[in-house]
Amino acid sequence: MKALRLTAWGEAPEPTEVEQPVPRGAEVLVRVEATGLCHSDLHVIDAAAGALPYRLPFTLGHEVAGRVTAWGPDADGVEAGQRVVLYGPWGCDSCDRCAAGRDNYCDRRDTLAWHGAGLGRDGGMAEYVLVPSARHLVPIGDLTADQAAPLSDAGLTSYHAVAGLRHALGEGTTTAVIGIGGLGHLAVQILRATTATRVLAVDTREDALTLADRSGADFGTLARADTARVLRGQTRGAGADAVLDFVGNGQTLELATGILRPGGELAVVGSGGGRLTVSKPGVLPPGFRLSLPFWGTRPELTEVVALARSGAIHVETERLPLSAAAEAIGRLRRGQVRGRAVLVP
């Protein structure tokens, strides 16, 4: 079968012919129907040797939807043809976090040689993907594969980040969302669907602000030198109760902490390599709280799928064949993808 494999750090992944995997034990084989291309894939491709605990080579692709086709003798509760989305964080399967469906915070996360599908283990940018256990599969009912695949990271990570702030997002509050790409446009919709907060969107691209508007943001503005002043104006000078940063570089962290209200919540989701210096006394807003959410839990993925099936969230997608992965990667790098690019084998 064809697979897009990362063979060397810092080099473009290679389309490669590999053996179609055969499920053993509790493993399940899924015929891939769609795989989302995440900005994290770019961070993985660009990583310096030794920066990530993964062993090369492996097949990329951690946002995967498809159909169950075969399974090993110990697999439970699977049916031929079942349409599923993969829960991508695969933990050790034996710590109490994994037992609770919180593989994203597995206690052995840093000693395993992987963080999940397409992140150290073979992922879904291929015709088939081998899943270690049926517990990593969530049924999608009648959702299309294009809609379902991005839910497993863009949807789940946004949902998990919002869930961590929900206590602070009541009526009369304001939340700024920075970076309205694959994750950010779903975060806007999830905020609208699950909280009462007012949503302010920030991006460097006009078309991303158009998408923010369509996703239900109350206000959108370009990231510029005066953005903090513009956003403060939107909160009558008080500042935002929460900021979700889907970029995470030095510029956005400065903006985020600059518009946060005292006692506000900052969730940094983007892996843009920015740094925050903590000092007391200092310039950070008093009482602010910082979280660094990573992906999401298995029960949360079931909730995100239910939200999508109810019509409360909709993924903006651009569909390309897997053979055009290099083009999709180039477009994502240049900021030319609107919403999520989805690759179809």
228 part of the interface to ligand NAD, by CB under 6 A: no
Nearer to Zn ion, 95 or 222 (CB): 95
Nearest to 212 by CA among 258, 239, 181: 181
Shortest Å, Cβ 62 to ligand NAD: 9
Which does residue 92 bind out of ligand NAD, Zn ion, none, counting CB within 5 to 8 angstroms by kind?
Answer: Zn ion
Q: Which is nearer to Zn ion, 109 or 185 (CB)?
A: 109
Do residues 8 and 48 lie in contact, with contact meaning Cβ atoms separated by under 8 Å? Answer: no
Would you give the binding string for Zn ion spanning residues 80-99, x where CB under 5 A is met? -----------xx--x--x-
Whole-number minimum distance, CB 71 to ligand NAD, in Å? 28
Q: How many residues bind ligand NAD (CB under 6 A)?
A: 34
Question: Which positions from 55 through 114 interact with ligand NAD, judged by CB under 6 A?
Answer: none
Q: Given candidates 82, 144, 271, 291, which one binds ligand NAD under the rule CB under 6 A?
A: 271
Per-residue x/- marks for Zn ion, 99-128, CB under 5 A?
-------x----------------------
User: Could you say which of 4, 26, 29, 180 contacts ligand NAD (CB under 6 A)?
Assistant: 180
By CB under 6 A, is residue 120 in contact with ligand NAD?
Answer: no
* Three-class DSSP labels, the chain: CEEEEECCCCCCCEEEECCCCCCCCCCEEEEEEEEEECHHHHHHHHCCCCCCCCCCCEECCCEEEEEEEEECCCCCCCCCCCEEEECCCCCCCCCHHHHCCCHHHCCCCCCCCCCEECEEECCCCECEEEECCHHHEEECCCCCHHHHHHHHCHHHHHHHHHHHHHHHCCCCCEEEEECCCHHHHHHHHHHHHHCCCEEEEEECCHHHHHHHHHCCCCEEEECCCCHHHHHHHHCCCCCEEEEEECCCCHHHHHHHHHHEEEEEEEEECCCCCCCCCCCCCCCCCCCCEEECCCCCCHHHHHHHHHHHHCCCCCCCEEEEEHHHHHHHHHHHHCCCCCCEEEEEC
Identity of the residue, 78 or 190, whose beta carbon is nearer to ligand NAD in the bound complex? 190
Residues 6+ apart with CB under 8 A from 90: 103, 114, 115, 116, 117, 121, 132, 136
With respect to ligand NAD, which residue has the nearer C-beta, 47 or 324?
47
For the bound state, the minimum distance from the C-beta of residue 53 to ligand NAD, rounded and expressed in Å, comes to: 16
Residue 204 binding partner per list Zn ion, ligand NAD, none, with a CB distance cut-off of 5 to 8 Å that depends on partner kind: ligand NAD
Spell 248-272 as b/e; 16+ CB within 10 A means b.
bbeebbebbbbbbbeebbbbbbbbb
In the set 124, 270, 285, 345, which binds ligand NAD (CB under 6 A)? 270
Q: Which is nearer to Zn ion, 91 or 123 (CB)?
A: 91
The one of Zn ion, ligand NAD, none whose footprint includes residue 252, by CB under 5 to 8 A per kind, is ligand NAD
Q: Which is nearer to ligand NAD, 39 or 136 (CB)?
A: 39
Which residues between 134 and 173 bind ligand NAD (CB under 6 A)? 153, 157
6, 78, 183, 342: which one binds ligand NAD (CB under 6 A): 183
Q: Is 220 in the site for ligand NAD (CB under 6 A)?
A: no
Residue ranges that bind Zn ion, judged by CB under 5 A:
91-92, 95, 98, 106
| Residues in touch with ligand NAD (CB under 6 A) | 38-40, 43, 153, 157, 178-184, 202-205, 208, 223, 246-249, 251-252, 269-272, 293-295, 332, 335
